[in-house]
Structure 1
Amino acid sequence: MHVVVIGAGIVGVSVARELVTRGVHVTVLERDRGAQRGSTAFAPGFVGIYNDAPVLTELARASVDAYRDMASFSPSGGLELATTPEGADALTQRVEGARRAGLAATMNDPRPLPSFVDEQRVIAVARYDDDGVTTPHLLRGEVRTVAEAAGARFVDGTEVVGIHSEPGRWRVDTADHGAHTADQVVLAGGVWGPGLSRLVDVELPLVPVAHPYVYAAAQAPVVAPGPFVRWPEHHVYARAHGDTLGIGSYDHHPLPVDEDDLRGGAGLSWNTAFEAPIDEAQRLLRPAARFTPSHRVNGVFAMTPDNLPFLGAVPDAAGVWIAQAIWVTHAGGSARALAAAIVDSVALPAELTVDRFAGESADGLRASALRLYRDIYANDAI
C-alpha cells in the first residue's frame, strides 16, 4: 500500500510515522521548505490529557504515549487554578472526571506552585500529573526523523494543486514536482485544510482564528521548568520555556482569519487588539514575574463548530482521509487511530466524522465555531 500524506506539521509527520512503522509505503508532500509556517511552529506546547469529551481524553492519552520517548516532550504535569468559589467547584468536578478516566488528578495538592503565580489570588488548585509539555516545532522534527529513518519519503517545497481519482488509485498533482499516485491520500494541511478539502469536493467547516501568546525576556529568578498552568475562569494559560515565561489569553473577542491572509503562514503581524487581554492576563502573575513582552506571537489555529477535530474518511471519495483541526495534544493519538483505520480497518470515533455537519448552514457553523473560542479550554486542545 502507498499512502500520500499532504502536510508535514505535527499531524502529518505523526501520521507518516504511524503508517510507515506498520509497513506502509509513505510519501509526505510539504509546501514549505526549511522553516515551517503552520500552526505547529507557534503552539505553546501543552499536552493535557483530561477532557470533558471522552473521545479527546483517549486521543490525548495515546498522544502522550506516542511522545513519551521524544527528547522534546517532558512529563511536567499540569495545573488549573481557581480564584473564586465557583471556579473551585468547577475544578473539583474536573478532577473527579479525570479520576474516573483513570488519570492521576488531585485537588489542593500541597506541592508549591510555580514561582510566577500570584498565590494571593489562588483559592483552589487542581493538579494533573499525567500531563506534559513540549516544544512543538522540535517535536515535529523528532517525529519526522523517526518516520524518515523508518522509510517515509518527504518531498519539501511542493504545493498540491489537484487530487484526482483514477481506476484503483489516486493522483496527487503538484505545482512543481509532477504527480504522485497513491492507494490512499491523507489531508493534513492544518489551517489550510478547507482549501485542500475542496480538491475532493468537501466544504470543511473549519474556521481559522488569530490568538495571542507572548514571551518574556530571560528572567531566571522567577521562572523554572515546571507544570503548564491554566486559570480557566480567566481563559488564561502560562508556562516556562527554559528560563523565560510565556502567557496567552482567550479572553477577547474572536478574530477570524481569511484564507487569503494565510498565504504567508499561520504567524501574522501582531494585532494591537491583543494588548489589553495580555495585560489583564499578567495580573494573575505575581508582580515580580510581570513583564514587557520581548516577543509577541499572533498565531492562527483552526476552530470547528463543536471544538472537535475532523478525523475520518471522505464519504464520497473512497481512499481519501481528513485529519484536520488537530492540535499537538491530540496529534499523536489521532495519527495512531487513523493508521489503524487505514491499515486494519479499525473504526474511527463517530464523533469526529468528516460529514457530521452535512446540510447545516455555513454561516451558522462559522458562528458556532467562533462562539466556542473563549471556552477553548473546555476541550483542552492546545
Structure 2
Amino acid sequence: MVREVVVIGAGIVGVSLARELAGLAGIRVTVLERDPGEPRGSTTYAPGFVGLYNDAPILTELARASANVYEKADTGFTRAGGLELATSAAGAAEVERRAEAARAAGLPAALLAPGELPGPVTGFVDTEQVVAAAHYPDDGAAVPPLLTAVLRAEAAALGARFVSGQAVTGIERGSGTTYVTTDSGERFAADDVVLTGGVWGPSLAGLTGLDLPLFPVAHPYAYSAAGARLSAGPFVRWPEHHVYARVHDDRLGIGSYDHPPVLVGQATLAEGASLAWAEDFAPVITSAQRLLRADARFEPEQLVNGVFAMTPDNLPFLGPHPTLPGVWIAQAIWVTHAAGAASRLAGALAHDAAPPPELAVDRFDAHHHDDLRTAALRLYRDIYANDAV
C-alpha cells in the first residue's frame, strides 16, 4: 500500500523533505506551494550563510548534515568558509570561546591574527578595528533560490509532485486520513501532512488547532552595486555588533540585528516574506557599515526587508503534532539546518526514528503565549543564543 504524504510549503525545508521522502519505497509525496509563480517565502530572500557551529549541539548536527547534502548538489553552495571577528577584548574572548567549543565538537576552527585574514575579506573589512578572528573552513555560503531549485529537481526526479497556487485553507483529520483543502477548491487526502510553511507557520498551525509560538520578524539586508574589486571568500560575522556580511558574486551584502525587533503579523505577509523597506532600518545599515573599510562603504543599490520566524529558544520545531495524529511540524528552520532537519523528520515519519527531543513541538506548553513572544523577541539581537525560556 502506498503511503500518501502531503507537504505544505515549497521553500528549502519542504523541498528537502520531499527529496528525502520521495526516495523511500512505498511513499508518494505531493508538495503544495502557496505561490503560483515565483516563490515569495523566506528562502528567496535569505542571504545564504551556512555556519556549522552552534552552542546547541542539535543545531551543529543539523548544520553539518545540511552542508553535506548541499555540497553534493554541486550548484548553489560552496564551502566558502566563515569568519567571526572581534573589535574588543570582550568580543575576542567570545570569539575564542566559540572557536574552542567548535573544535571540541569536531569542527575545524583556527584563530587568526588580524594580519592573517584572507585577501577577499580584507577587500571590505576594516582590519584596523579587528583584534581577534576565528576561521571556520567548513562553513558554507549558499544561493538559496538556486540551491532550492536543484533540490526540488532532485525531488521531482524521484517522483515528488509539486502543485502550485495552493494556499491552504483547511486541515482536518477523519477516519485515519488527513484532508487538506486549498483556496483553489481542491482537496488532498493524505496519510501524513507536514507543515513546512515558514513565516506562515502560525496560520497553518492554527488550522490544526495549535497555537504555535512562532513569531515572524522583519530584518534588514542591503546590497551594494556591482564592484569589480570584490571577490568571493568567507562570509564574515561580527558577533558583538550583531552584523554580518558576504560577497555575492560581484556585490557586497551586509545585514544587522542591532535594532529593536519588529514583529510581523500574518496579515502583513499576504504578498510574501519581503516587505516594503522601513526607513527605520536605514540608520541600522549605515551603522553596520562602520565595520567596513571606508572605501568599501556603499549607498545600497538594493534593500531587502526580509521576514523570518523566531522561537522562544532559537530552536526549530521538528516532530509530530502534539494532538493530531498524522500531522507533523517542521517550522522555524533556516537554510543552515534545512536538509539535516528534513532527514531527521523523514526518519521519524517513515521509520519511527525518534525526532530530536529538544525540538519537540509541545516543549512550551507550560508557558503563556505572551511570555513566549517576549522571550523570542529578546533573542532577536543574538540569534545564536539558546534557552531564553
- Of residues 26, 29, 34, the one that matches 2:29 is 26
- Residue 15 of structure 2 is aligned to residue 13 of structure 1: yes
Residue 140 (structure 1) shift: 1.1
Aligned partner of 2:204: which letter? L
What SS does the aligned partner of 1:69 have?
A: helix
2:101 counterpart of 1:93: no
Q: Residue 52 in 1 paired to residue 58 in 2?
A: no
Query: Is the counterpart of residue 212 in structure 1 residue 217 in structure 2?
Result: no
Which of these residues, 144, 147, 155, is aligned with residue 152 of structure 2? 144
Which of 340, 358, 365 is the equivalent residue of 1:358?
Answer: 365
8 Å contact kept, 1:161–1:175: yes
- 1:112 pairs, out of 109, 114, 118, with 118
CA contact (8 A) 1:270 1:298 kept: yes
**Contact 2:49 2:336 (8 Å CA) reproduced:** yes
CA distance in 2, matches of 1:283, 1:33: 41
SS of the residue corresponding to residue 173 of structure 2 reads strand
- Runs of 4+ aligned structure 1 residues displaced above 4 Å come to none
Contact 1:187 1:197 in 2 (8 A): yes
2:292 counterpart of 1:282: no
Counting only pairs closer than 5 Å after superposition, residues 63-212 of structure 1 correspond to structure 2 as: 63-70=66-73, 71-108=75-112, 110-113=116-119, 114=121, 115-212=123-220
Kindly indicate whether residue 292 of structure 2 is the aligned counterpart of residue 255 of structure 1: no
Displacement of 1:111 in angstroms is 4.7
Shift of 1:228: 0.7
Post-superposition offset of 1:378: 3.6
Q: How far apart, CA to CA, are the structure 2 residues paired with 1:365 and 1:218?
A: 42
Q: Is the 8 A contact 1:235 1:377 kept in 2?
A: no
> Which residue number in structure 1 is paired with residue 302 of structure 2?
295
> Partners of 2:118 and 2:78 in 1: how far apart?
19
Question: How many angstroms does 1:169 deviate by?
Answer: 1.4
Match of 2:38 among 29, 35, 39: 35
C-alpha distance in 1 between matches for 2:202 and 2:292: 38
Q: Give the letter aligned to residue 118 of structure 2.
A: P
Q: Deviations over 1:30-77 (max 9, x none)?
A: 110221111011100001100000010001011001111221101100
RMSD, aligned α-carbons: 1.0
| Cα deviation, residue 121, structure 1 | 0.4
Identity %: 58
Residues 83 and 136 in structure 2, CA contact (< 8 A), matched pair in contact too = yes
CA distance in 1 between partners of 2:205 and 2:329 (Å):
8
Look up the SS of the partner of 1:307 in the other structure: coil
**Whole-angstrom distance in 2 between the partners of 1:28 and 1:361:** 33
Cα deviation 1:152-201 (Å, max 9, x = unaligned)? 00000111111111212111111215111111000000000011001111
Q: Is the 8 A contact 2:9 2:198 kept in 1?
A: yes
Q: Distance in 2 between matches of 1:246 and 1:177?
A: 42
How far apart, in 2, do the equivalents of 1:257 and 1:200 lie? 21
Give the alignment partner of residue 304 of structure 1, picking from 311, 336, 343.
311
Q: Secondary structure at the match of 2:298?
A: coil
Q: How far apart are residue 2 of structure 1 and its match? A: 1.1
CA contact (8 A) 2:379 2:385 kept: no
CA contact (8 A) 2:314 2:384 kept: no
CA distance in 2, matches of 1:58, 1:245: 29
1:323 aligns with 2:330: yes
Do 1:232 and 1:377's aligned partners in 2 also have CA atoms closer than 8 Å?
Answer: no
Segments of 5+ residues of structure 1 without an aligned counterpart are none
Q: TM-score of the superposition, structure 2-length normalised?
A: 0.96
Q: Residues of 2 paired with 1:270 and 1:155: CA distance?
A: 31
User: Which residues of structure 2 form unaligned runs of 5+?
Assistant: none
Whether the 8 Å contact between 2:219 and 2:305 is mirrored in structure 1 is yes
Q: How many residues get paired? A: 378
Q: Distance in 1 between matches of 2:340 and 2:227?
A: 35
Mean Cα displacement is larger for which, 65-74 or 41-50? 65-74
Q: CA deviation at 1:359?
A: 3.1
Which secondary structure state, in structure 2, belongs to the residue aligned with residue 363 of structure 1? helix
Distance, in Å, in 1 between the alignment partners of 2:118 and 2:273 is: 36
Q: Distance in 1 between matches of 2:256 and 2:207?
A: 34
> Offset of 1:335 from its aligned partner?
0.3
